[in-house]
Structure 1
Amino acid sequence: MEERVKTSFIPKSSLKVERSETRSRNPLAIVNIITGALLVVAIFGAGGMYAFEKYTMQSIASKKLSLERSRAAFEPATIRELARLDARINTGYSLLRQHVSVSQLFDEIETRTLSSVRFNDFSYSIADASRVLLTASGEAVSFNAVALQSDAFSKSSIITEPIFSNVNISKTGTIVFNFSAIIDTSRIGYTGAAVPSSTQQ
């Protein structure tokens, strides 16, 4: 049986080369498209930033001009006078806040002192910015009166840490003692009101 030889006039090798060349060009085209798109976006972005910067500068200049006009509407001499007045008011308030009203302290002692107790030789010294040390001597009709007086002072919001010491019987039969306490100056300042006290009998 005779074998037939198949012949073809289509060059197979050349087709393979062309197909491979076509395939190799496709990635380059995609890269070119992406690059072009990024370039367009960058151009628009740069234009937007320039426009925004220009708008911002114009807005700042406009507000600065408005501020200068507002300042010019006030007289500089009046502004300086108001500033000096404000400084004086603040200084006066600071002095009043630090000043202690001794009259409020004596009112508290008078209100809290029992009729059966008498104090002598009051003195006080400043312990720190918020506390004053009060010392005194006194006498009472009995030991029970001293105990009641200690209880009365312990209820005060101004007289804190009351201490009765050296309690003895005098030659006349009365009870003598020494007294010390810490005064809360924040409660007796000119800017604060002392807490009302009930009268002790």
Structure 2
Amino acid sequence: MPQTAAILRTGRKFDQVLRGAREVFMADGFEGASVDDIARAAGVSKATLYSYFPDKRLLFMEVAQTECKLMAEKVISMIDDSKPAREVLTITATQLTAFLVSDFAQQVFRICVAERDRFPELGMAFYKSGPQNGKRHMVEYLEKAVQRGELAIEDVQIAAEQFSELCKVRVWTKAALGIQTVFRQSEIDEIALQAVDMFMARYGV
């Protein structure tokens, strides 16, 4: 990111820009989102918007990275390492499944796929802040659980990815293809519980 954006990444107007950009990107997609609409939604001038983000791609990446970071922080704040592994994994699976089928995650995924050839950096930014960052946190937790003797895992890298894939079963493909756009909490809970049951059947001690 250019040095200008890095210097100005705090403050009320910066937060306004992110909120406005999130709103417009979610409604109009990346291609359809205009700088005028984003500035209007953010309640700032175009000059102010450009002082933070001279390129729309940088703004989209910042929105995606910020949202993923907030999601990760929320999950981490709910995790108590002193709790049994099944309880920790159930909390994580429930939050992850809900995020994967959320309007935000689905819209960002569609934008990254649609713009893959022209702007591959969009997908890379989302991957690093979303799946890759989530995997890193999961690996850290699994290593601790293995050290405590709660789980028996030889390859925690693979296990972390297996866990996230289990949280996608049934619901993610439907969401990605637009077959189903609203998911009840009971559906999310069921997928999460099934994911944890399967994971513990393989790695539980």
Larger-Rg structure: 1
User: Is the structural similarity TM-score above 0.5?
Assistant: no
Instruction: Give the TM-score normalised by the residue count of structure 2.
Output: 0.21
Q: 1 or 2, which has the higher strand percentage?
A: 1
Q: Which has the higher contact order (CA 8 A, sep 6+)?
A: 2
